[in-house]
Amino acid sequence: MGPGPSAIQVDRVSMTFGVDGSPQRLLALGDVSLEISKGEFVCLIGPSGCGKSTLLNIIGGLVRPTQGQVIVLGKPVRSPLPRDVAFVFQDYALFPWNTVIDNIKIGLEFQGVSHQERAERARRSLELVGLTDFARHYPHQLSGGMRQRVAVARALSLETDILLMDEPFGALDEQTRMVLGEELSNLLAKANKTIVFVTHSLSEAVFLGDRAVVMTARPGTVKKIIDIDEPHPRKPEFMTSDKFHLHRSELYRLLRDEIRKTVDVIDKGVPHR
C-alpha cells in the first residue's frame, strides 16, 4: 500500500467461471488481496488470461466475486458506483453520431448532472486533455490517440475519485502510447485521482505506475508488488534512466516464468479465458 489513506481494499478475492458447454469450472482469480491509497497510480500487469481485467471489473462493481470482498472509499462494492468510479476501456465506446463534446455530456446526463453544469464540466475536461479545438468534431474525424483522449476526458468529467483503465492505449502504436502516457502522468499530478491501470506493456507499467502489481498465471494472484519511486508528472527522460531500465528488467524477470506457464497451458489445449 502507498503512504496515504486507503481508497480501494481487495480482500481475499477469488473468481470462478463456468466453461461453455462443460460442467467444468475455471478458477480465474485466486485469493487476491491488495490495498491502494488515495491518489495512487497502480498498474496491474501479468500474462494473458491471468484475471487482470476481471479484477478491475470486480473493483468497479461490474462483476461480483465468487469469494472475498472489495471496499471502495469505505463502502463494500456490491454493484457499480458511478459517483465514485469511472471506467476507460481499450474500446473508446464513443457514439459516432455525437460530437466530441456531446459524447462527454451524455455520461454526465446519465449521472444526473444539470444541463448548464454538463457544458462546463465537458469544456473543462476537454481542456485538460488538450482537445478544446475539437469539441465540435465527430469521432471519425479524429485519430486513434485523440479518440482515446476523448474517452479519458469523458471519464474525468464525471469527477469521480477513482479511474479504472483497462488497457486504454493497447490498440495504439508505441510512440502514441508513450505520448499519452506523459499526458496521463501530467493529469494525475493535477487531478489527484486514484488510478488502477491494466496493461501488458512493461514500459507503460514502469513509466506510469507508483506501484506495479505483478500477477501470476491463472489462477491469478499477486506475485510481487514493485515500488516505482519517481514523482509525477514524469518526464520523457525517465524512460532513458538507469532506474527505469532496472524496474523494467525486474518486471520482465518476474513475468517470464508466468508467461511460460500460460504458453504451456495453451499448448496443452486447456481452456483459456
- At 78-93, the pLDDT tens digits run 999 988 999 988 777 8
Q: Coil, strand, or helix at residue 116? A: helix
Q: Coil, strand, or helix at residue 197? A: strand
Buried/exposed code over 55-65 (b: 16+ C-beta within 10 A; e: otherwise): bbbbbbbbbeb
Please state, for a pLDDT cut of 70, what percent of the chain lies above it: 92
**13-27, 134-148, 195-209, 224-238, range with the lowest pLDDT:** 13-27
pLDDT average, residue stretch 245-270: 80
The one-letter amino acid code at 120 reads: E
Task: Say how many CA atoms lie within 13 Å of 136 toward its Cβ.
Answer: 1
Query: Is the pLDDT reported for residue 272 higher than 50?
Result: no
**Per-residue model confidence (pLDDT) at position 263:** 65
Provide the pLDDT confidence category of residue 19 given band limits of 50, 70 and 90: low
Q: Where does CATH 3.40.50.300 sit in the chain?
A: 1-79+161-169+194-254
Q: What is the per-residue pLDDT across 157-171, written as a single tens digit (0 to 9) for each?
A: 888 999 999 988 877
- Do the Cβ atoms of 181 and 169 come closer than 8 Å? yes
Task: Report the chain's terminal Cα–Cα distance, integer Å.
Answer: 29
Return all residues near 174 (Cβ < 8 A) that are at least 6 apart: none
Instruction: Supply 128's cell numbers.
Output: 485538460
In CATH terms, the fold of domain 1-79+161-169+194-254 is: Rossmann fold (3.40.50)
